[in-house]
C-alpha cells in the first residue's frame, strides 16, 4: 500500500508525520535510558601520591581509587594499615598496572578501590614495606584524610 508523503492539499501526509513521531519517541527513549540506566564504569575520584597528607572530600555512594607507584620486583608493596571507619570500605584486592614489555624493577602502579558508604571522616594510611619484614619500619608512609559527605561536593 502506497502512502504519499504529502496529501492532495500539499501538506505533510501520514507517512511523514508518523516518521517524525517515531523519531521523537526514539530520542525520548534514548534520553530516558541514558539518564536512568547508565552505569558508572570507573571511579568518580582518583587519589595519587600528590595527595599525601591532604584532605579530600567525596560524596556518599562515590567510588574512588588510590593509586600509588610501587616497584613490586623489590618485594615492596603498599599495604592498608589504617582504615578504622565505616565511612569508606575497600573493594576487593588491589590491582597492579604495569607498563607493557617493561624490564624488571620498572615502577608500576598499585591501585586500591574504595567506596564511600556513609558520612564521616577517615584517615587512610598505607605503608610501603616488605610484608615479611615485620620488625622494620616501612620505607614510605602515605596518609590521606577522606571526608565523606551527603549531597554535592
- C-beta neighbour count of 109 within 10 angstroms: 17
Mean pLDDT, the chain, integer = 81
Instruction: Return left, alpha or beta for 74; rule: phi > 0 is left, psi -120 to 50 is alpha, else beta.
Output: alpha
- Would you list the domain boundaries of the chain? 1-38, 45-149
User: Using an 8 Å Cβ cutoff, are 90 and 80 in contact?
Assistant: yes
User: Using an 8 Å Cβ cutoff, are 109 and 68 in contact?
Assistant: yes
Whole-model pTM over 0.75: no
Q: CB neighbours of 107 closer than 8 A, spacing ≥ 6?
A: 69, 70, 71
CA–CA gap between residue 144 and residue 125 (Å, rounded): 7
pLDDT (0 to 100) of residue 34:
39
| 31-85 residue pLDDT tens | 433 333 334 456 788 999 999 999 999 999 999 999 999 998 899 999 998 776 7
- 45-149 CATH fold: Immunoglobulin-like (2.60.40)
Beta bridge partners of 129: 77
Alpha-carbon distances, residue 75 vs 80, 96, 128 (angstroms): 16, 14, 10
Amino acid at each position: 500500500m502506497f502512502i504519499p508523503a504529502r496529501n492532495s492539499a500539499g501538506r505533510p501526509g501520514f507517512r511523514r508525520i508518523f516518521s517524525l513521531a517515531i523519531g521523537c519517541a526514539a530520542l525520548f527513549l534514548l534520553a530516558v535510558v541514558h539518564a536512568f540506566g547508565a552505569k558508572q564504569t570507573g571511579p568518580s575520584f582518583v587519589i595519587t601520591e600528590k595527595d599525601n597528607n591532604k584532605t579530600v572530600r567525596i560524596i556518599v555512594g562515590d567510588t574512588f581509587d588510590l593509586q600509588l607507584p610501587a616497584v613490586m620486583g623489590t618485594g615492596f608493596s603498599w599495604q592498608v594499615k589504617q582504615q578504622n571507619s565505616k565511612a569508606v570500605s575497600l573493594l576487593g584486592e588491589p590491582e597492579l598496572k604495569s607498563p607493557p614489555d617493561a624490564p624488571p624493577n620498572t615502577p608500576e602502579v598499585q591501585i586500591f578501590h574504595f567506596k564511600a558508604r556513609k558520612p564521616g571522616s577517615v584517615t587512610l594510611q598505607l605503608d610501603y614495606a616488605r610484608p615479611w619484614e615485620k620488625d622494620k619500619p616501612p620505607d614510605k608512609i602515605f596518609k590521606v584524610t577522606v571526608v565523606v559527605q551527603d549531597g554535592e561536593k
